[in-house]
Chains A and B, each alone.
Chain A
Amino acid sequence: MAAELVLRTEKLAKRYGRIQAVDGVSLEVQRGDIFGFLGPNGAGKTTTIRMIVGLIRPTAGRVELLGRPMPAARRTALARVGAIVETPAFYGFLSGRANLELFAAMSGGAPRARVDRVLEVVGLQGRDRDLAGTYSYGMRQRLGIAQALLPDPVLILLDEPSLGLDPRGMKEMRDLILDLNRVHGITVCLSSHLLAEVQQVCNRIAILDHGKLLYQGEVGRLLSRTESFRVRAEPAEQARHAVAGFPDVAGVRGENGVLVVDLPADRVPELNARLVAGGVRVFEISPVQASLEEVFLQLTGPAAADASAHPSSLKTCAS
């Protein structure tokens, strides 16, 4: 059975004059995901999120939120969606609680118990009567999440939720996001340029650069898309000669007595057969697991920028 989609964009595009901020982005977020939306600054993440929630009108393309077209059905769709777009903004002259009550009223109202509950979830009890203008950045982020949680959402969209937080705040934010997903069953879609954060909390990601989607799919699948393999074999020198003479090998280097071979994955069995036939004892051939940072830089670095002129060379992978 196909997974239920809570968010779908189709060839979404936004142009500001001569600048193409977002260029044909098609995303699919499944119910239950913690979906990471990655990209360097200026990649078009925030613009995409703004189009998703109806703050900005797309130049082209479609958005479906909880199965409803945006912005045509925005009132119904947004009733079950929480969102923080950029820095959470509140009325500084009202208390945190009064802000929540005000935004809850805009969503059709929330009982006092619900406001208490979301304040508890984000850990702001005891400070809720203070003016929002006196809150620290981290507290405002938490209040932003509380506001997003008020309508008992199916999906929450968080734009750079850890931006500006100290390491402790970032850890707490990660824990909170995992808690929202695992305990409360909320699908989370977060944008970030913090790769470690995304790698730790997200199960699926999309990578955006210069407004274009470079990859979409599972994190694990992206990381294992490596074409480098670790080969442990003896005698080492004989193994090196055999590997170097093997067709399609792009490079061989030694690391701590182990060979690292750049080779298309579908050629690995033949390499193994060649080594064994040549009298080499093979102990291990395993893919080299790249970090998300390496893959990200590979996709969005200068080489990728050149390659973007030839999209076929970027292995955009629909899940």
Chain B
Amino acid sequence: MSDTPPAPAPAAPASERAPVPRGAGLFRLLELETIKLARRRTFWAGFGLLGVFAVLVLVGFHYAEFGGLARTLRRMGASADFKPYVNGLLYTGWATWLGYYLLIPLYVSVVFGFQIAGEAREGTLRTMLVRPVWRGQVLAAKFLSGYLYVLVLVVFFYLFCLALGYPFLGSGKPGLVAFGKTFFNDPSHFPWIIPEAKAIQRMALGCILGSLALAPLASLALLLSTLVETPVAAIITAFSAYMMSTLLGEVEFFVKLRPYLFTTYTTFWKGVFYPELDWREMGRSAGYCGLYTAAFLAAAWAAFRWRDVRG
């Protein structure tokens, strides 16, 4: 072993080096985050899970005894039988309606809960943050890439349901039975039928509005992801908060709490399945969703900006 310390290297003239590069901007980061997300198994697992769910709902539809339900509704005042309208459109509407209750929010919690805490856990967050990138842009890129994923997932779910529903359930009588609150609001007009062409437009609108309605949950999961060290903690907490808010909102005793629960406003997209679109009400709820999202994102930015990256 030599005890002689090595001679220091001669200083390299600045002129011999390449010009100082600028760090990646938001769009480049968004592209990189999207590539990373698309290469993870979690990405494809979401499609797989929703695909399986769609098939299960289809099997349920195929074997469902709608006759009994139709007779009950008639007794309760429905003006006509809805059974001829059990078709691919109704199946798609119901499957997506059900998917938005549990599976899609669960996936939103997983994707956004992982975004920061997951990378911190894997150690890649520190590798990323020693590069000349701005933390605000990293957070924005992670939010937007996650959102892009959610949008693709929702579009896939709608298209997959339509592709399954039409061949297996047929088109029946063309048109979509408006569902949701319609029967209880006005039983004598049940079933309201939305013409087929309009129903397809409504579904496309449902895709967009349904995705927007997930923004408060997505931003809450991202906020939690900046606060905790493990992704599982962020995912479970975000999803629990969603479930808690949903359940409390359903219980009549807690009616006074409803205006403060974020899930009160995240169901506005379901208005696309009502007979007439109530743009005013949908716009109001969307506005509240925007406020919750902005508040959660601002908190996430503050937390991420000051976060000590120790993992």
Give A residues with C-beta under 8 Å from B: 4, 30-34, 50, 53-57, 74-81, 83, 85-91, 93-94, 102-103, 105-109, 147, 151-152, 154, 178, 181-182, 184-187, 196, 199-204, 218-220, 223, 289, 291
Contact = CB atoms under 8 A, between A and B. Distances in A.
B11 A55 contact: no
Nearest to A219: B5
A202 B28 CA distance: 38
Contact of B23 (A75, A81, A85, A203): A75
Contact of B40 (A86, A93, A152, A184): A93
A55 B126 contact: yes
A78 B130 contact: yes
Contacts, number: 150
B126 A85 contact: yes
Contact of A203 (B6, B35, B41): B6
B21 A109 contact: yes
Given A94-B39, A109-B24, 17 more contacts: A4-B11, A30-B8, A53-B130, A55-B129, A75-B23, A75-B134, A85-B126, A89-B123, A102-B36, A105-B24, A106-B28, A106-B29, A108-B132, A152-B18, A181-B9, A184-B12, A186-B12
B126 A89 contact: yes
Contacts of A57: 306, 308
Query: Mostly helix, strand, loop or mixed at chain A's interface?
Result: loop
Interface in B240-258: none
A219 B1 CA distance: 15
Query: Mostly helix, strand, loop or mixed at chain B's interface?
Result: loop
Contacts of A291: 3
A86 B126 contact: yes
Nearest to A53: B130
24 contacts: A56-B310, A75-B133, A76-B132, A83-B130, A85-B127, A87-B123, A88-B123, A90-B124, A91-B39, A102-B32, A105-B24, A105-B32, A108-B22, A108-B23, A152-B17, A152-B18, A178-B6, A181-B9, A199-B3, A200-B2, A201-B6, A202-B6, A203-B5, A291-B3
Identify which of B5, B17, B21, B306 gathers the most chain A CB atoms within 10 Å of its CB: B5
Contacts of B130: 53-55, 78, 81, 83, 85
A152 B18 CA distance: 7
Given A55-B309, A105-B24, A32 B9 contact: yes
Interface string B33-63: 0011001110000000000000000000000
Nearest to B41: A93
Contacts of A200: 1-2
Nearest to A102: B32
Interface string B79-99: 000000000000000000000
Identify which of B21, B123, B134 gathers the most chain A CB atoms within 10 Å of its CB: B21
B309 to A, nearest CB: 4
Contacts of A203: 5-8
Interface residues of B, number: 43
A76 B12 CA distance: 19
B122 interface: yes
A79 B22 CA distance: 7
Nearest to A144: B127
A182 B28 contact: no
Contacts of A204: 5
A55 B124 CA distance: 12
A34 B11 CA distance: 12
B128 interface: yes
